[in-house]
Each structure stands twice: as structure tokens, then as C-alpha cells.
Amino acid sequence: MIDDKLLLWLTFVLVGAATFLPRCSFIVAGHRIQLSPKLQRALRYAPAAALAALVTPDILTVEGSVHALNPKLFASAAAIGTLLFFRNPWLPFISGMGILAAARLL
């Protein structure tokens, strides 16, 4: 039987390698392998998609369930509307936080 400490260290090394090797492969083979232009265009949206995947569940749910009168939903709608109407990078933060504070007070 393998010692618990040895098993723990082996797990650390394997998880580290599983994380490090895919990231390192892009750096090492990056100049040798060219991605297709279509794939490069698609990868431009990956950060926005990852951010949306992280933020959307928090906006839509309150304590694990969906509510119609969700203050975060109203605030995000106000921020998106402000961004689309004014095209100013600071006004959505101000309007979203203002609506969120007002909705929580009510």
C-alpha cells in the first residue's frame, strides 16, 4: 500500500503537470503551429465567454434560486442599457451600483 503522504505528493505533482503542460505547449509550440484564421477569430471571444459564464449565475440567482425581483438583475440591466445608450466606460458602473443600492434599500 502507498503511504498517504506519498500519495498526496504524487497527486500534487500530477495535478501540477496536468495544469502546466497544456499551458506550456502553447508557449513552446506557438511559433511552429499556426491556427486557422477562423479559429483565431473564435478564440477572441473566449475571455468574454468565460467572464459571462462566471457572472451570469450570480446575476440571475438569489440564494440559489431564480427570483423575478432580483436587485442584481435590475442593476445589470441598467448597466447594459447605460453602456449601449451612452457608450461611456464609467457610466455603467455608476448606474449599476446606484440601481443596486436603491433596489436593496427598497
* Same domain for 41 and 27: no
* Same domain for 50 and 4: no
* Same domain for 95 and 63: yes
Per-residue confidence in pLDDT tens, the chain, 106 aa? 678 899 999 999 999 999 998 888 878 877 788 888 999 899 899 999 999 999 999 898 888 888 878 899 999 999 999 999 998 889 999 999 999 999 889 8
For cell 505528493, what's the residue?
A: 9
Per-position b or e across 34-55, b if 16+ CB within 10 A of its CB: eeeeeeeeeeeeeeeeeeeeee
DSSP state at residue 47: H
Report the pLDDT value the prediction gives residue 75, as an integer from 0 to 100.
94
What cell numbers appear for 50 in the block? Answer: 468565460
DSSP state at residue 69: S
pTM beyond 0.85, yes or no = no
If one counts the domains in the chain, the total is 2
| Pair 91, 82: CB distance under 8 Å | yes
The residue range of the domain holding 90 is 36-106
* Same domain for 77 and 53: yes
Element (H, E) at 41: helix 37-43
Distances (CA, A) of 85 to 1, 32, 81, 103: 66, 44, 6, 22
Q: Closest Cα partner for 97 from 84, 78, 83?
A: 78
